[in-house]
Amino acid sequence: MVAQNIVFGVLAVAMGLAAIRVVTTKNVVHAALYLVVVLAGVAALYILLAAEFIAVVQVIIYIGAIVLLILFGTMLTRAPIGRASDLDNDQRWLGVVVALLLLGVMGSVLADAFGSTKLPKAPQIQRTGDVGLSIFQTYVVPFEVVSVLLLAALVGAVVIARRD
């Protein structure tokens, strides 16, 4: 387990530094690339927990789709090379407050649910089939609810983007 702790430490430091750079860098595209580093670190953490399927899905969805669409959007509108001066605005303190609130909510939820649970000594390998079965049997109703929510977002995007 020592090796895993060392790997976790390295990953955590790299992710923390990259996350700070996401908000301090003066270039939109660089910020998106630092975000890719953070998300890749999350995928690596999943691999460390032997949850390979979730790790690969993290790469496909977050790195391969979401950040790519962010980059795509900025490049279609404006993505200047070099430092931009108008990236900061006076709402940063509001942002700090919201971030701290989010941290509090998520932290308390996590501590409430898993506070006293300990990881088993031997790594439990999560098979893709197990993940699929638990989604489509145990959690099928939340899954369908999320699907309908995504469909609503999709329809909303089409309505906004329509010209007439």
Q: Is 160 in the site for another protein (CB under 8 A)?
A: no
Distance between first and last Cα of the chain: 61
Minimum CB–partner distance for residue 155 and another protein (Å): 16
What does each C-alpha distance from 131 to 43, 52, 53, 88 come to in angstroms? Answer: 16, 11, 8, 42
Judged by CB under 8 A, the stretch of 9-17, 65-73, 106-114, 150-158 that binds another protein is 65-73
Judged by CB under 8 A, the stretch of 13-21, 66-74, 96-104, 109-117 that binds another protein is 66-74
Q: Which of 19, 22, 33, 84 binds another protein (CB under 8 A)?
A: 33
Q: Is 36 in the site for another protein (CB under 8 A)?
A: yes
Asked whether 7 and 48 are in contact (CB, 8 A), the reply is yes
Residues 67-126 that bind another protein (CB under 8 A): 68-69, 71-72, 75-76, 79, 81-82, 122-123, 125
Judged by CB under 8 A, the stretch of 64-72, 94-102, 105-113, 152-160 that binds another protein is 64-72
Q: Which is nearer to another protein, 19 or 59 (CB)?
A: 59
Minimum CB–partner distance for residue 97 and another protein (Å): 33
Rounded Cα distance, 164 and 159, in Å: 10
Q: Is 63 in the site for another protein (CB under 8 A)?
A: yes
What does each C-alpha distance from 125 to 39, 78, 154 come to in angstroms? Answer: 21, 44, 35
Q: Is 29 in the site for another protein (CB under 8 A)?
A: yes
Asked whether 32 and 89 are in contact (CB, 8 A), the reply is no
Give the total residue count for the chain.
164
Q: Which is nearer to another protein, 14 or 71 (CB)?
A: 71
Dihedral (Cα; 143, 39, 48, 4), 10-degree rounding: -150
Asked whether 46 and 55 are in contact (CB, 8 A), the reply is yes
Sign of CA dihedral 155, 156, 161, 164: positive
Binding site for another protein (CB under 8 A): 27, 29-30, 33, 36, 47, 50, 52-53, 55-57, 59-60, 63-65, 68-69, 71-72, 75-76, 79, 81-82, 122-123, 125, 127-128
